[in-house]
Structure formats: C-alpha cells, structure tokens
Amino acid sequence: MTDNRQHVFEIIRDRGPLRLVDIAQWTGLGQTTVRDVVKSLREVEAITQAETEQRGTGRPSLLYRITATLGNVVGVQFEPGSVRAAIANLGLEIVDQRERAVSAAEDAASALDAAAEMVDAMIGAKRIQRDRILGVAMAMGAPVDAIAGTVRSTTRLSSWIGLQPAAELEKRLGLPADVGNDATMAGLAESVVGAAKGRANVFYAKLSAAIGAGIVIDGRPYQGFAGTAGEFAHLVADRTGALCFCGNRGCLWTVIGGERILRELEQTTGPSAHQLQNMQLSPLDDRLEKVIELAEGGDLACQAMIREVGASAGHALVNVCNLLNPSTIVVGGTLSKAADMLLDPLRATVMRYTRHLSRRGPALDDREVQIVQAGLDKWSEVLGASAMALRSANPVIRQRLLSLIDET
C-alpha cells in the first residue's frame, strides 16, 4: 500500500492535475486501487480535488493535485551580479521573494551568505515552520558536476569553480539543498506554470548572450548522468565552421551567439552599425536588445540577422525534435523578445524538416510540436528551482516530502 501511495503521489506531483483514469494510466495500477489510494491521500490532505474538466459532452471529470499548503520549497538563483530567492508552497505559488545585488561572480562566499540571510529572513517574516520546508534548489549559470556536486569551469561565475554550492548552502541554512543548471530550471518552470503549462515533454531553448537549454521529460527535469545535459550552445551546426571557445569547430554558439551577431552587424556600414559600435562597453544582452529595437524600427540588416538566427536555431531544433520528440519548444532569453521576427523563420524551419514525425499517426495536428515564446519573467529560474526541490531525487528531500503523506 505504501509504495502505491508514493507512486500515485509522485505521479500527481509530476503530471498533475490528473483525472483518476490518467493516474491509472501513468501508474499502471487498476482503477479500484487508484480510487482507494486517492481516497487515503485525500484523508491526510496530501492531495486536493482541484477542479473539474469538461471533455466533450460527457460528465465533467474530477482532477486531483498536490495540496498547495502541505509544505514549502525554496528556490535560489545566483547570477554574476545578483542573488534571487523565493519561498513557494507546493502549488508553486510564491509566498515571498527577495533579490539582492551581490558580486556573486567574484565572491562566492558572500553570495552564499546573502542567499542564506535572505531565506532566513523570509522564513521569519512569513512564520514558516522549518520542518515543513522540503528543501532548497539552487540555479547556477554554470555547469555543475552531478556526481561530485562541484562547479566546473565557467567564465561567468569564476570564484565558484571547484566549490560544492549545495553543501555550502546546507551548512548555512540547515536545510537539504540541491543544485542544477539555470536553463534546466527555467525550462521546468515553463512546463509547470509558464508557456508550456501542463506539457510534460518540453525543450526550453534560451537564446541570449549565453545559449542554453532545459529538458523536461515526463514532467521531470533531465540533467544527464553527469549533470551537463542541455549544452545546446555546443551542438555542432557546421563541421567546418568557426572555432569555438570550447575547442570544437562550428558549434551553434559560433553561429547564433551574441558575440557573432554583434561582430557582423558592427561591420556593416550604416546608422545601426554606428549605434552598436557605440555600445561596445555595455553588457552583451543590452546590445542584443538594441539589435531587436533597431530591427523593430525598420533596420534591414538587424531584421535579416534576427531572421537568420531564427532559421539557424530552427535547424538545431530539428535535431532536438528528431531525438527527443518534445510536445512543446519554449524559446526564451533576450532574443526571444524579437517575437515573431525570430519565431516565424524558426517555426518554418522546424515544421519543414520534422513533417515526417507527425505523419506516423492519424491525428496530424495533435502530433506537431508547438513552438512558443517563453511566458515567465526573470523569476523563472527561481520558480523552476522551487519546482526542482519538489521533484528532487535527493534522498533527504524526498524523505521529507514522503513524511508529509505518512498515514498518522
């Protein structure tokens, strides 16, 4: 019985809200067993009858989701110049959120201290019981070795290399902590509460000065065996192309990376080139926003560049579709602000080269990948980190979650 309770509870967590018939399908359990388990989980208020869903003309079905007030999770994000933290309930509604400017790139210890202070302050302000907090997940803009838990080589957060961020934060907060890649977290947030809400198989492509990706499979973030899945920037786009900083040739980074986009536009002659040259000391993402602004103002070179980036990203995403068959691709990051100017050529490329995938079944339209613009703001990574804490495979965090559904 206990195993069935855990199984049903975790399926509702990962894929909910769900109908009884969906729970039976995803768990492989019989309808009668599912009904009994759902009843016992409702008795301890671990799950809640959410809303009803009308499909066709029949009777509306009842949907079940995790009880939002059952506990709390904490999400933290470290960026080169700031730390963000939020406490959410298990329905991923933010209870409190804070942001502080810290030079996190150069001073990891101060950034970790700041994060712990912010979380402690929120716990105090909202009078949250510490034993109701399942754990903390941290979003890092750097590759983290999943086995050793250490930050690997990175240019963005140099003082973190070799550090074990989760262990460091656990020491400061007395709460179990997990760590993961920020694009993975943003992708998870989009699949749970953002533009791909309710979709369990999602690929999130972040097209900014930094290129990254988050992969969600069956409602759970996929980080690979060593934690480096989603290195979208280093997909080989052109085997004989330009040399990449990673040592390979023709990576997607060399084709649609911010530096390449700006380098080429600055070499054109015209008013836009001049304006971009004048911003050479500004952060790359600010300069990319300027490219979008110029394109929207009618600049032909900037328009052509954004369309070209859309088509090139589309070609890379064709490979992703062939490999992973996501139901939804969410495009986020600075360049996604160009909206249809970027997304139209991107969609056209993906649709043209993935048509064979939707020809395998009868319902053609239902099987085509949906490509949407990201729906969440700069808090998406923190929200995703909270969602990650709720889905954590960390045995301590998972035990804290399961203890909340124990029959008393």
**What are 96's two structure tokens?**
């409190």
Residue pair 156/80 in contact by the 8 Å Cβ criterion: yes
The distance of closest approach from Cβ of residue 212 to Zn ion in the complex, given in angstroms and rounded to an integer, is 13
The distance of closest approach from Cβ of residue 169 to Zn ion in the complex, given in angstroms and rounded to an integer, is 30
The distance of closest approach from Cβ of residue 246 to Zn ion in the complex, given in angstroms and rounded to an integer, is 3
Which of these segments, 84-92, 97-105, 240-248, 392-400, binds Zn ion (CB under 5 A)?
240-248
The distance of closest approach from Cβ of residue 284 to Zn ion in the complex, given in angstroms and rounded to an integer, is 17
The distance of closest approach from Cβ of residue 75 to Zn ion in the complex, given in angstroms and rounded to an integer, is 29
By beta-carbon proximity to Zn ion, the closer residue of 12 and 251 is: 251
Which of these segments, 166-174, 217-225, 241-249, 379-387, binds Zn ion (CB under 5 A)?
241-249
The distance of closest approach from Cβ of residue 62 to Zn ion in the complex, given in angstroms and rounded to an integer, is 49
| Position among 246, 300, 339, 393 found at the interface with Zn ion (CB under 5 A) | 246
Number of residues that bind Zn ion (CB under 5 A): 5
| Position among 47, 136, 251, 317 found at the interface with Zn ion (CB under 5 A) | 251
Near Zn ion in 74-133, by CB under 5 A: none
d(CA 399, CA 387): 16
For residue 217, which of 228, 230, 207 has the smallest C-alpha distance?
Answer: 230
The distance of closest approach from Cβ of residue 30 to Zn ion in the complex, given in angstroms and rounded to an integer, is 50
By beta-carbon proximity to Zn ion, the closer residue of 237 and 387 is: 237
By beta-carbon proximity to Zn ion, the closer residue of 251 and 350 is: 251
**Is 244 a binder of Zn ion (CB under 5 A)?**
yes
**Is 242 a binder of Zn ion (CB under 5 A)?**
no
For residue 238, which of 315, 303, 305, 301 has the smallest C-alpha distance?
Answer: 315
For residue 248, which of 228, 265, 231, 223 has the smallest C-alpha distance?
Answer: 231
Q: Give the contact letters, 216-235, x = binds to Zn ion (CB under 5 A), - = no.
A: ------------------x-
Residues in touch with Zn ion (CB under 5 A): 234, 244, 246, 248, 251
